[in-house]
Structure 1
Amino acid sequence: MNQREAPRPTLPVGDLLSEPIPELAPRLLGGRAGLRRDIRVAAPERPGLALAGHPEALQAGTVQLLGKSEVVYLAQIPDDQRRLLLDRLGAAPIACLLLAHGAAPHTDLLEACERHGLPLLGTPRTTERATEILGRHLEERLAPAITLHG
């Protein structure tokens, strides 16, 4: 019997909006042009290092979760610094951003997402709850498959 590992599955960001995930209740806030970007990593991440000026720390194909601390930080830094950081974030090879707590996106965030075709999703859930729900959903959807031939 031959055993072969199939290519790792991916999930287009748009599927998060069309699949029933009532616990997460995701909605599109911006960056519609990027809904075909693929999610390749099941664990949602936080972009803290990228917002501190290290966008190379972002893993390709991830969902980056923006919680209260990221929103507060972005609101407090100077406009030109915020625009530069968000432009770098938008240009990164990530799948999408997910804004937690039902927070309204900063205008600069919306503009960067639109400019780079980076989907910006929102959820009313807390950061911790969104991480848990989305992580569980992505673990199921992105689980590797093994094909057996015999």
Structure 2
Amino acid sequence: MANRKFTVLDLLSMELKGYNSLNLKCIAGRSGLANEIRVPDINRPGLELSGFFDAFAEERVQLFGRGEFAYLHKLYSENQTSTIDKLLDSKIPCVIFSHSITPDESFLAKADLAGTPVLQTDLESSEFSQRVFRVFNNVFAPRKSMHGVFVEVYGVGILLTGDSGVGKSETALELIERGHRLVADDVVEIRCVNGNTILGQGANKFISHHMEIRGLGIINIAQLYGIGSIREQKEVQLVVKLAAWDQNKMYDRIGTDTDTIDLLGVKIPLIEIPVRTGRNLPIIIEAASMNERLKSMGYHSARDFNQNVLKWIETSAAANTYSSADDVY
């Protein structure tokens, strides 16, 4: 669910471009633009116009296509407006007409009186439905903020985490210098889309592409390295935890076991990289990124290595057994 309430005015004023644009405008009921949209779904009110309100989803956005409009026009021509009045007097967030349809003046007047916003789009009903569902999936997605640096390395979204001062920003800066891209620094907002995808972006779009480097201050990555060095959002595909080297700790040296971290109910691969003087963290992270891409294509280096070692051991054991048998005779 969204952290704050999402209103009809928010839907109307969203800055969406290209194939995501809803092309909405308000043609009546402006006093109700503060109505809250609580459910990320739409309803086609054909049954309600015919008088069946037993299962009316009044908490949803009501979408009128050509079929609903034809029936609406028929009701007005026959002066049977009781169901229309009941619909508009319900606690619906808003009514949207597709195909640039403009309803009767009586409908608009009743909507103004009831404080029910009437919106209009030039999109077809099916196309509008697809786009508005994408908007709802984004707006109502579970989300939280995390401390870290989010970068894209060889097409893989990597979230760098660790204690303050461990070197996350400096490592990310070196990665950017090597041609990779920054998504967000310091505070990363993540959200779960479609139940299995974690998307990350800057918590504040105005400062997300700035970095704080101790001893240097705040720098603007886009200005220093060009617009190609940043991106707005990316799927979180790997979490890399940077931790100070602990000589008493046993670190994984094979990599056959895959650790994960739970982010909003989704398991994301986790790698812990110990930090100490002389280690080239950017190169290690680049290798981790390419290795993660190989895993996504079905190839697991560590497991393949382990299987080859086992085969070698079995072959050597068989050869030794055969040689020993020859010595007996």
Q: What TM-score bracket applies, with the shorter chain setting the length?
A: 0.7 to 0.9
Provide closer, same or farther for how the CA distance between residues 132 and 41 of structure 1 changes in structure 2, counting only shifts above 3 A.
same
Distance 2:55 2:2 in 1: 25
Residue pairs, 1:76-95, within 5 angstroms: 76-77=74-75, 78-81=77-80, 83-95=81-93
Stretch deviating more after TM superposition (118-127 or 55-64): 55-64
- Note if 1:18 corresponds to 2:13: yes
Task: Please tell me whether the aligned partners of residues 24 and 133 of structure 1 are also in contact (alpha carbons under 8 angstroms).
Answer: yes
5+ unaligned residues in a row in structure 2: which ranges? 147-329
Residues 54-102 of structure 1, C-alpha deviations (whole Å, 9 max, x = no match) = 2343324311100000111111224431x21221111111110010000
Higher relative contact order (Cα pairs below 8 Å, separated by 6+ residues)? 1
Give the alignment's TM-score, normalised by structure 1: 0.84
Q: Which has the higher strand share?
A: 2
Aligned length: 142
- Aligned-pair identity (%): 30
Give the alignment's TM-score, normalised by structure 2: 0.40
Distance 2:9 2:2 in 1: 21
Stretch deviating more after TM superposition (85-94 or 7-16): 7-16
The code of the aligned residue for 2:109 comes to: E
> Of residues 36, 59, 64 in structure 1, which corresponds to 2:34?
36
What does residue 111 of structure 2 align with? 113
Higher Rg: 2
Provide closer, same or farther for how the CA distance between residues 65 and 7 of structure 1 changes in structure 2, counting only shifts above 3 A.
closer
Residue pairs, 1:42-121, within 5 angstroms: 42-77=40-75, 78-81=77-80, 83-121=81-119
The code of the aligned residue for 1:30 comes to: A
Stretch deviating more after TM superposition (17-26 or 87-96): 17-26
SS of 2:79's equivalent?
helix
What does residue 3 of structure 1 align with? none
Distance 1:58 1:9 in 2: 26
What does residue 122 of structure 2 align with? 124
Q: Provide the aligned C-alpha RMSD in A.
A: 2.1
Stretch deviating more after TM superposition (54-63 or 33-42): 54-63
Distance 1:91 1:141 in 2: 27
5+ unaligned residues in a row in structure 1: which ranges? 1-5
SS of 1:55's equivalent?
coil
Stretch deviating more after TM superposition (138-147 or 90-99): 138-147
The code of the aligned residue for 1:16 comes to: L
